[in-house]
Amino acid sequence: MLDFRCSGSVTFKQFLVWLLFSGPVHAASDIFTDTEALLPPLIDWSGGSEALVAGADDPWVTPSEKSGLVSTPSYDETISWLEKLVKAAPELKMISIGKSLQGRDFWMVVASSDGDFSAQTMLDSGKPLMLAQAGIHSGEIDGKDAGLMLLRDMTVADKRAELLENVNFLFVPIFNVDAHENISPFNRINQRGPEKMGWRTSARNQNFNRDYAKLDTPGVRAIVAVINQWKPDLYLDLHVTDGADYQYDITFGGNAAGGWSPEIGNWINNIYMPSVAKELDTQGHIPGPLIMAANGMDMQGGYLVWSGDPRYSNGYGDVRHLPTILVENHSLKPYRQRVLGTYVLLVQSMEILASEYQALRTAVQADQARRPESVTLGFVTGDSEMSEQDFKGIASERYKSEITGAEVVRWKGEAENKPVARVLIDQPGIVVEKPAAYVIPAQWADVANRVVAHGIDVEQFSEPRTMEVDVYRLPDAKIAAPSDWTPNPFEGRIRIDPGEPEMTRTTITFPAGSFQFSTDQELGELLVLLLEPQSVDSFFQWGFFLEIFTRTEYAEPYVMEPLARKMLADDPGLRTAFEEKLASDPDFASSPQQRLMWFYEKTPFYDRNYLVYPVARVPAG
Amino acid sequence: MNPTVKNALVSLLIMFLPLTAAAQDDVIIMAKDAIHHDGEYAQVCGIIAETNYARGSKGKPTYLNFTNPYPKHNFTVIIWKDDRKNFDYKPESLEGYQACAYGLITVRRSRPQMVISIQDQISARKIETSGETSQE
């Protein structure tokens, strides 16, 4: 809009010019606000779950229900409504689990029909416990409005009170609270509602769902503390998709089978998924597996069955043997349909948790007791990974874009059922032998404290300790090349490519205050993934050890040159190697500095810690 | 039931536990090892790192967490609210004490615990740099 304050006075001619040129801008803005024109066509939907919506005259109608489930309330409106509910419902209590960078509380609602509101009493009660969080990406906020309806129905509305008889429930209605208040109708271009929504990343542009391993954000630190304190039996992370169109309105699942918690994976795939899918289907929804188009566009290349790394909630849950379900509502479905599907999923998750609790406990205990001699650092696609699967797709066609010159998919809004390929990402990639323990020297306490924050048991040395250990030298380590998925810098950190590590056995005296972490514990595999430099979510690859890239101390030529001559005279083999290097490497041959450095590296004066990873491995056996 | 009568009955019950008080001295399990003694009557000893009187919870339990605070404790003694009257002192005052508790060890969610109902089931000695005091 023209700023009249700056112009002082405006002539009629200037006003006409403004009118002339402002016209197209107004017209253009329509193409940004007409969601239906922007997004692929819809297939009409109605389902039994629509009966769940409270009437406008219901005293406990939620703010979103009042809007017809087309809008979502602000942080203040949400918390205010919850405070009113908690005041009326003795089964509920609100607990602040931390504060955001902008000073907002991360609220968690504790729901227990027994009034068990402390972590230890709840654990001691023997009742299963479900933790669900909404809005880790705050534009994907369906879970909040579904959760408000469910809390109401389990308490003051007395519609689903039996759920709390069998299961305790922790609910984080808005996880990324600061992002939730960064509100706009333009925050998610690929999504049908709500009318306005929050932003994906925090006030410092950090993605909570890339932070589960490194723990930079107060939000993820808070939820990991909840996991450690309350020890939930089932953890739900409620999202909304981006990407391809298909009929499914709600997709969900654990990490791909064969991951770090195979018994839990079996429970999720064989018990949880069929049960929840069946109930969703009964309620008129169209449940499906987690789907990522393999070609990034449509289903012609099939879809990926993904194993998340520990930076993601589902990968993190898998590696720490916490049954974790990633829920991805389909972004192109209307907000109302997505909220109702989430409600049904939450209810059936509680039902199945109650009825199949013993089987789940058996699975969890089996995975927690695993002590594999080697640990997979990540999963990749294999050679025989493809299988065809019936798929409820949407008909599509491709056209050549005059903008990009490439093909673009156009979704037609018509159901198309046909088999498509499933591409499994479940084959072990890099595998390392597990040491008995890791030692982090006292000077790297910042890293050690993050390991401890994960709930991993630690022994801190009260006095210096001399130990025979294995250490990695990382001669090829460098700043990682950026990619589409992982730019660099990324998430406020410089990502490091570790190259191929070299391992050496040596004796080190660690100072008092150093930290030893045994791998013989429930979270032993998580420990390995945090500390092995070849692990994609290790602290090393997240750039916590940049200091090792600076070589210190220098050799003056007037000292080094005579010493080099003595070294050659003393070692004929060294002379041969030097001559071969001169002959094969012209850059080396033409550089006096490189020549002297070649000798300096072979002296005991050279920086012993240059490119040496400070975290030591205590050999197994 | 009259509290005095109930105390007497509880004391009688304790006397008939599988081990006598004298035998308790011979079977001492450290808190860190209690996990391996599920279903056994024994005397478990260690340092009470944290106490928690959960007034707001069902049964209003008092937790005595050994070695480390919850959730890193390795043994817990539980005293239900109805049994607090069997103690001359507030059980939660034992935080920081070295203590031995006698009773049935059970393991729940991979954590060993013991429910005690009378004061005689626990002896505690305060750890102080300038001497020790005891509550027995």
Give the pLDDT confidence score for residue B98 in this predicted structure: 97
Name the band, by pLDDT with cuts 50, 70 and 90, for residue A592: very high
- Name A454's Cβ contacts closer than 8 Å, sequence gap at least 6: A215, A224, A228, A320, A523, A526, A530
State mean pLDDT over A49-77.
Answer: 97
For B64, nearest residue in chain A (alpha carbons) = A120
**Chain A residues within 8 A of B113 when measuring between CB atoms:** 124
What letter would DSSP give residue A133? E
| Res A404 pLDDT > 90 | yes
| Res A475 pLDDT > 80 | yes
CB contact under 8 A, A125 and B72: no
Name the band, by pLDDT with cuts 50, 70 and 90, for residue A416: very high
CB contact under 8 A, B71 and A115: no
Rounded to a whole number, what is the distance in angstroms from the first to the last CA of chain B? Answer: 25
Crossing angle of helices A445-453 and A218-230, in 10° steps, is 50
With an 8 Å Cβ cutoff, is B72 touching chain A?
yes
Give the pLDDT confidence score for residue B1 in this predicted structure: 47
Q: In total, how many domains does chain B have? A: 1
- Lookup: tokens for A236: 């739900």
Computed from CA positions of residues A425, A189, A38, A287, in that sequence, does the dihedral angle turn out positive or negative?
positive
Name the band, by pLDDT with cuts 50, 70 and 90, for residue B56: confident
| Res A367 pLDDT > 80 | yes
- Name A300's Cβ contacts closer than 8 Å, sequence gap at least 6: none
Half-sphere exposure (CA, 13 Å, Cβ side) for A293?
16
| Res B24 pLDDT > 50 | no
Give the pLDDT confidence score for residue B126 in this predicted structure: 86
Least confident of A61-75, A86-100, A414-428: A414-428
State mean pLDDT over A552-556.
Answer: 94
Name the band, by pLDDT with cuts 50, 70 and 90, for residue A464: very high
CB contact under 8 A, A120 and B63: yes
CA A242 to CA A375: how far, in whole Å? 32
| Res B108 pLDDT > 90 | no
| Res A298 pLDDT > 50 | yes
Name the band, by pLDDT with cuts 50, 70 and 90, for residue A539: very high
State mean pLDDT over A550-569.
Answer: 97
Local structure of B78: helix, strand or coil: strand
Rounded to a whole number, what is the distance in angstroms from the first to the last CA of chain A? Answer: 73
| Res A116 pLDDT > 60 | yes
Closest C-alpha among A43, A48, A137, A86 to residue A343: A48
| Res A538 pLDDT > 80 | yes
Beta-bridged to residue A243, according to DSSP, are none
Question: What is the rounded average pLDDT for all residues in chain B?
Answer: 83
Phi/psi at A241 (5° precision)? -75, 170
**Chain B residues within 8 A of A455 when measuring between CB atoms:** 71
State mean pLDDT over B49-63.
Answer: 91
Q: Pairing state of beta strands A407-428 and A379-400?
A: antiparallel
Q: Which of A120, A125, A457 sits opposite B52 (nearest CB)?
A: A120
Whether residue A111 contacts residue A304, with contact meaning beta carbons closer than 8 Å, is answered with no
Gyration radius of chain B's alpha carbons? 14
Q: Domain of residue B18: give its range.
A: 3-135
With an 8 Å Cβ cutoff, is B55 touching chain A?
no
Specify the CATH number for the domain of residue B58. 2.40.50.140
Number of H helices, E strands in chain B: 2, 9
All domains of chain A in start order, with CATH: 4-33 (no CATH), 65-370+389-427 (3.40.630.10), 433-551+610-618 (no CATH), 557-600 (no CATH)
Whether residue A414 contacts residue A395, with contact meaning beta carbons closer than 8 Å, is answered with yes
Whether residue A42 contacts residue A334, with contact meaning beta carbons closer than 8 Å, is answered with yes
Question: What is the rounded average pLDDT for all residues in chain A?
Answer: 94
State mean pLDDT over A157-169.
Answer: 96
State mean pLDDT over A557-586.
Answer: 98
**Chain A residues within 8 A of B63 when measuring between CB atoms:** 120, 124
**Chain A residues within 8 A of B52 when measuring between CB atoms:** 118, 120
pLDDT tens digits, one per residue of A421-451? 999 888 899 999 999 999 999 999 999 999 9
| Res A118 pLDDT > 80 | yes
pLDDT tens digits, one per residue of A249-285? 999 999 976 689 999 999 999 999 999 999 999 999 9
CB contact under 8 A, B109 and A231: yes
Whether residue A352 contacts residue A163, with contact meaning beta carbons closer than 8 Å, is answered with no
Whether residue A530 contacts residue A315, with contact meaning beta carbons closer than 8 Å, is answered with no
pLDDT tens digits, one per residue of A121-133? 999 888 999 999 9
- Lookup: tokens for A327: 């829920």
Give the pLDDT confidence score for residue B12 in this predicted structure: 45
Q: Which of B57, B76, B110 sits opposite A117 (nearest CB)?
A: B57
State mean pLDDT over A585-600.
Answer: 98
